[in-house]
Amino acid sequence: MISENARALLAEIPPGVELVAAVKGRRPAEVVEAIRAGIKVIGENYLQEAEKHHAVIGKDAKWHFIGSLQQNKIKAVAALFDMVETIDSDESAKMLDRHCARLRKEMPVLIEINSGREPQKSGVMPEQAESLITQVNRLPNIKIMGLMTMGPRFGSPEDSRKYFIATRKLFEQLKSWRIPNVKMNYLSMGMTNSYRIAIEEGANIIRIGTKIFGDVS
């Protein structure tokens, strides 16, 4: 089932949209099956799971960190991942930069936007994005590559549209400013219930779990 789901999804999404398989709660064997079906990017929420998956899969995929970036885990995240999609504070970015410096590694990152302005969620408020980008942009081992948002969860995918529109407008505004050393190349939005709306509104990274793997058993 995983293979068929992954192939169908890869065939459905338009060119230029990158599929990140969100593997929270999945067994390594399930992740391996998705990779064999053509998945190239793995999205991890939790470091402990990522370490188990990485021990089996290694460099057969690219690794995106898509969970909340806890400061006591940043050293390991720096070593393991190819991109961090969830930068939402200067302090975390500075810690990531220091660990990347020791590894002689430049880390591509996305700035996480709290498009729904939900106090319980991570992400910077939209009006604070420019200030955070200015701060993070000073760090020599961190490369800002775009924005990411979760958006509030709804029963109807259509209800997510206004949050994706707002994030895309912010993305386009920041891109138009041509900030030195900042590349607004990636807009990561949309999950299983909302990825089609996200693509319509400009997402070129989507993060899909359930539609590939089914419900977590």
pLDDT at position 205 is 98
Cα-based distances in Å from 134 to 93, 128, 137, 138, 159? 12, 10, 5, 7, 32
Position 104, amino acid = R
SS3 215: coil
pLDDT digits (tens, 9 = 90+) for 24-71: 999 999 999 999 999 999 999 999 999 999 999 999 999 999 999 999
Confidence check: pLDDT of 154 > 90 = no
pLDDT at position 8 is 97
Tokens of 186: 């990636």
- Indicate the fold that domain 2-213 takes in CATH: TIM Barrel (3.20.20)
Confidence check: pLDDT of 155 > 90 = no
Bridge partner residues of 62 (DSSP): 41
pLDDT digits (tens, 9 = 90+) for 67-92: 999 999 999 999 999 999 999 999 99
pLDDT at position 217 is 65
Query: Where do the structural domains in the chain lie, given as residue ranges?
Result: 2-213
Confidence check: pLDDT of 93 > 80 = yes
SS3 2: helix
Which pairs count as long-range contacts for 208-211, CB under 8 Å and 24+ apart, including other chains? 208/9, 208/19, 208/20, 208/21, 208/22, 209/21, 209/22, 209/23, 209/24, 209/26, 211/5, 211/9
pLDDT at position 153 is 79
